[in-house]
Structure 1
């Protein structure tokens, strides 16, 4: 194969490869596309960083797709690695036991059941559009090192999607970044993320402002008391379009506001279109502030018996397309004006 120097596309996916033929691949100097997905026995032998860099050293390579079955992510951050990732047009890298790609982002990394990390992991965030952590250990340490080196590495402005599931050993990061390290984050999912009472516990160390956040999904976060505290730290969520909250037994309120925040009605969530609230038995209200959602389109509420008020107004009658909820919950909802309630009858889907 090393003599096939004119080869541009190499598809080695869905087979029983056990080792990476790195030396051979490096000889394919015209290679542009390499697919090594769904090789669940595939392992790097020897120094992982060196071998991965060797694959990236192909100057013409622009599309790389690879799954590696390994419980350790020991790829160290180097300038060669950063430059190699940056020049790629498409990258799907999955590392971990049974890992596989799920996002549609052009550059993404998925890590599953990883428990050994390299000392410097900035490459994970540099030039990536999406990162997934599933059942990984030691994430607190990873983020703490990012913050500690923040002045050296700067922000990661390409990251759009962050998915974290099964983080059961999260520990508070000791210091906070002085700037937003993920300024263009659009989509964040926290699933089975324990030891946080508010998303701010995760966002504050990284300096996150969520100024471009469009979607937030929180599921099975057992210690969560409320979503976010808005004010001086996170000034507004003007881009937010979708909120999903599910199986959070302790949550009582979605949004808290600093007493001197100065927020006015309908200025905090001007683009919020979808709200999904399920299985939150202690949820009492979205916020103590009388908020407005002028572009609200889809509402779904299930098993939230203490939630008696919702920001339905006469202004929303023309925008809301569907309301899905239990008849009992709808009947017990408190309204300032019953005439407004009746206007929503055409879009109701009761069960």
Structure 2
């Protein structure tokens, strides 16, 4: 353990730049081994001033992510199993707290998730530079008289915290990060305007908060404001006077449906990132949505937009304002990819020229509950050349995903991931002749509840998928073979050379995975089988699939297993 600590301390001291060191120490505010959302962490670093000499919000975030990658590389942070999250283990947390206690004017008070019902003593508050009391059971906060050194205060997820003393913020003029999300507080205290150096304010999921005070305009350095999923029914016009605001996240759910923003959004001219959560089930008039779209379209510095356009016509308004060619947009959900241009298109029918145009610049496309379209090629295969991920869900009329009769060479050349769910009429993924170089980067294919699907790898598709690592087929009751014999003659034994994981669930008619046992399966590590009663003979011998590490299957499947000889059976049973 001592050797480990010495090594980690060496890694810390060897960091090139004081900003990387303070970024590392900031991680001690979070519960050891907990998942820390990287975008939130980087925003806090930015608010604290750790990312020096960067004016643009997006550029600062990029620099923060570079520091994050560096800290991971030198073992001072760990990647989490949850995408876009990191962790700091117990040893690293302890080391960071110890180093902080030895650094002048950098004391950290970190007591997250300790079940605290009472706040720490006043002297602990007054000596701290950064305080984390998140995930506790605090019911009240003390009336602190001297917190002039405090720069970060994390109080999120104290569900019983109902009130902040009126004078609480009086001495916190240096506070830069304040997180109060998921608390029971119903109003902010009159001392809030004292936070003149505040950069990031998180009030999201603050259900009892129904009003933002006009005094918010005193927070002249505020850059990030998150008020999603609150009870707020109107935005004060004073928000438009926050000239340093770079990132605003909000919801429309509780806002007045007649005039929800009253030109507030368009007046925040410095905005670079805007997220507006909209409940699709909320009834909004066409005029209101047109007004909101025009508000958003007036923001000429946007680099990231998350917004629900209820009609394609609203999207057309957005792009007709004149900033389309000068600004790049990150549309809608991240879909597990960081900083991608994403489009979620739901509850419509047919094709529309505006959607096809947007798709030319889209990297992640989600098509949901769409009608009167037989395949994605109807949007124009050439318009889909930049896609990295594609999800098709609940589109009952789709019969195939790609029409090879109109597909150019190298179609979907950038596509890495495809997810198809609840496609009741889907017969195949690729229809018609296979074009050279198509789908060459695909690493993951998921098929779920496609009741008419019989062919997965038709017309030579399988030969294109040299990079496929994950294949999941579930609830596709007409599937009899994963690799159909009649469609895939003379396959190279090294077919699917990168496949690591194969998931087969609820396939009652599945009889075989491959046409014979000649495939090598050089990378396969895991086979997951459930409710496949007709699959009696997996395509493995005593010499192929040499990297296979586990077979997860029901006991009943093991008892019906058919093998050519005892050696193969024993090998497979070793995975029990």
Residue 44 of structure 1 contacts residue 51 of structure 1 at CA under 8 Å; is this kept in 2?
A: no
Judged with a 3 Å threshold, the aligned counterparts in structure 2 of structure 1 residues 270 and 57 are, in CA distance, closer, same or farther, namely: farther
Which structure ranks higher in relative contact order (CA pairs < 8 Å, sequence separation ≥ 6)?
A: 1
Residue 430 of structure 2 contacts residue 459 of structure 2 at CA under 8 Å; is this kept in 1?
A: no
Judged with a 3 Å threshold, the aligned counterparts in structure 2 of structure 1 residues 49 and 131 are, in CA distance, closer, same or farther, namely: farther
Judged with a 3 Å threshold, the aligned counterparts in structure 2 of structure 1 residues 48 and 37 are, in CA distance, closer, same or farther, namely: closer
Choose from 428, 435, 439 the match for 1:210. Answer: 439
RMSD: 3.6
- The CA distance in 1 between the partners of 2:242 and 2:304, in whole Å, is 18
Unmatched segments (≥5 aa) in structure 2: 1-236
Deviation at 1:184, TM superposition (A): 1.1
Judged with a 3 Å threshold, the aligned counterparts in structure 2 of structure 1 residues 272 and 120 are, in CA distance, closer, same or farther, namely: same
Unmatched segments (≥5 aa) in structure 1: 94-100
Choose from 248, 272, 275 the match for 1:35. Answer: 275
Match of 2:484 in 1: 256
Judged with a 3 Å threshold, the aligned counterparts in structure 2 of structure 1 residues 184 and 320 are, in CA distance, closer, same or farther, namely: same
Residue 20 of structure 1 contacts residue 42 of structure 1 at CA under 8 Å; is this kept in 2?
A: no
Aligned 1:157-306 pairs, distance under 5 A: 157=386, 159-170=387-398, 176-201=406-431, 209-231=438-460, 235-256=463-484, 262-265=490-493, 267-289=494-516, 290-306=518-534
Deviation at 1:21, TM superposition (A): 4.1
- The CA distance in 1 between the partners of 2:370 and 2:491, in whole Å, is 38
TM-score by length of 2: 0.50
Is it true that 1:67 corresponds to 2:297 in the alignment?
no
- The CA distance in 2 between the partners of 1:34 and 1:81, in whole Å, is 16
Aligned 1:76-225 pairs, distance under 5 A: 76=316, 83=325, 87-88=328-329, 90-92=330-332, 103-106=336-339, 107-115=341-349, 118-140=352-374, 143-147=377-381, 150=382, 153=383, 155-157=384-386, 159-170=387-398, 176-201=406-431, 209-225=438-454
TM-score by length of 1: 0.78
Deviation at 1:213, TM superposition (A): 0.9
Judged with a 3 Å threshold, the aligned counterparts in structure 2 of structure 1 residues 35 and 345 are, in CA distance, closer, same or farther, namely: same
More strand by share: 1
Match of 2:541 in 1: 313
- The CA distance in 2 between the partners of 1:123 and 1:113, in whole Å, is 19
More helix by share: 2
Count residues in correspondence.
328
Larger deviation: 168-177 or 190-199? 168-177
Higher Rg of the two aligned structures:
2
Residue 20 of structure 1 contacts residue 44 of structure 1 at CA under 8 Å; is this kept in 2?
A: no
- The CA distance in 1 between the partners of 2:365 and 2:374, in whole Å, is 15
